[in-house]
Structure 1
């Protein structure tokens, strides 16, 4: 899921975020500060695809606990750690150049994940710019390739992200921000071994593929509705 990078600075504040990705995936999450410097978060995501030979479908959720610390009036550092679960299915046609016929590829997975992330942002009255990085340790409870089980059931992924939030703290829509995010998700070098003698090494390389992501989010601050309009 998209790294959180919440922009909460005091007890009782909350944000609700809805996100869409260029590939048609959707996410929603809520973050709340029940105590000063403490964060709790819950989120979920899904992607539906009705294609027969080329598709990417999935559902997931996660919960997290963390904290934040303002650095002066403009800087904010935050961190979260937590747990999530997902089911995902990806299929496509693998071409064979010059030799052989194309064939279908199907990955069907269920997995648990443990994640941690850090974020740093700079804020002014008109918006926020920042960066975040998330690392996720994935443990597959089921990993099938064309209905055949694969043996390697663990993977670590790293997700660095840059983001910008636009929105003023004054005016009619002071409770709403728009966020643009971009980054990459991939498996860090050194966290896996390549075994060219493994008959499924080709499939494992597909699981480790790096992907660029771009996302658009609406961020709602419910606590600002109870505040007098600036």
Structure 2
């Protein structure tokens, strides 16, 4: 419970750092332990980003997952920001229940996305001049493809709470990346994306086992990111590499509870 409260406090940090041309998806690591189990989830961040995912095990130790996410066009001040990201992905992998307390799994997949990030930046005004000395406008638009690998671990055992962590490595290749319609020449970024999560519900097979809630908090960054020296600087290589902290609240449905309960 203490971990849940700490993660809740992190949601206050998601909005300022979440506006970049690339935003990660955070589909819940599924608590799928055997064949024919499934999870359907929907999540949201304070920034307005929403996402949905479906995970299913058609065969023992085989895991399939599809996810999509994005946000409507939003405006923020003081930099007059326009920001929009849309993504989708598919993945396949495996899961293993090591013992009644530990569940591990891994996935590999591909994804597609597009983003828009428009904003302005200005230099600091002089001592007696309250207007900015210079004004720069950025109108970034991008399309990209992703290949990724992901591993996760769940600590089970409690009737109500479980927790764990996941790590994803994303290779993002830009098929189009422009600033005000002009190609920037930037092509690829490698994103490290660890996260921790805590889940409430969804473990009991009796009444109430079909519903769960999860709070996830994670980072996304490129190790080659370097902050521009100036207020404006050359941001074409900075924008796609910029990292951030993201916290997602998810509602998870476990429909297999109904059909597997009839078999047990």
Give the direction of change, closer, same or farther, for the CA distance of 1:34–1:228 in structure 2 (3 Å limit). Answer: closer
Distance in 1 (alpha carbons) for counterparts of 2:124 and 2:205: 58
Correspondences of 1:1-230 after superposition (within 5 Å): 1-51=25-75, 53-98=80-125, 100-124=133-157, 125-167=159-201, 169=204, 172-189=207-224, 201-228=234-261
Aligned equivalents of 1:49, 1:21: Cα separation in 2 = 15
Q: Which moved more, 1:75-84 or 1:100-109?
A: 100-109
Structure 2 gaps of 5+ residues are: 1-24, 126-131
Instruction: Note the residue ranges of structure 1 that are not aligned, 5 or more in a row.
Output: none
**Matched residue of 1:8: which SS?**
coil
Q: In the aligned structure 2, how far is the partner of 1:201 from the partner of 1:101?
A: 15
The normalised TM-score by structure 2 is 0.79
What is the rounded CA distance, in whole Å, between the counterparts of 1:100 and 1:163 in structure 2?
45
Q: Provide the C-alpha distance between the structure 1 equivalents of 2:136 and 2:228, rounded to a whole number of angstroms.
A: 23
Q: Is contact 1:110–1:141 with CA below 8 Å preserved after alignment?
A: yes
Q: CA separation in 1, counterparts of 2:259 and 2:162? A: 22
Asked if the contact 1:41/1:64 (under 8 Å) is kept, the reply is: yes
Between Structure 1 and Structure 2, the one with more strand by share is 1
Q: Is the CA contact (8 Å cut-off) linking 1:194 and 1:201 kept in structure 2?
A: no
2:15 matched to which residue of 1?
Answer: none
Which string of whole-angstrom CA distances, capped at 9 and with x for unpartnered residues, describes residues 175-206 of structure 1? 000000101111024xx79999xxx8432122
Shift, 1:47, TM fit: 0.7
1:59-114 Cα offsets, whole Å, 9 max, x none, are 11100000001111010111000011111101122121236233321210001100
Other structure's SS at 1:84 match:
strand
CA distance in 2, matches of 1:201, 1:37: 47
Q: State how far apart, in whole Å, the 1-side matches of 2:228 and 2:75 are.
A: 33
| 8 Å Cα contact 2:39/2:54 also seen in 1 | yes
Decide which moves more: 72-81 or 44-53.
44-53
- Is the Cα–Cα contact under 8 Å of residues 3 and 134 in structure 1 kept in the other structure? no
- Whole-angstrom CA distance in 1 between matches of 2:141 and 2:228: 22
Residue 87 of structure 2: SS of its match in structure 1?
strand
Considering fraction of residues, name the structure with more helix: 2
Report how many aligned residue pairs link the two structures: 226
Of stretches 206-215 and 162-171 in structure 1, the one that deviates more from structure 2 is 162-171
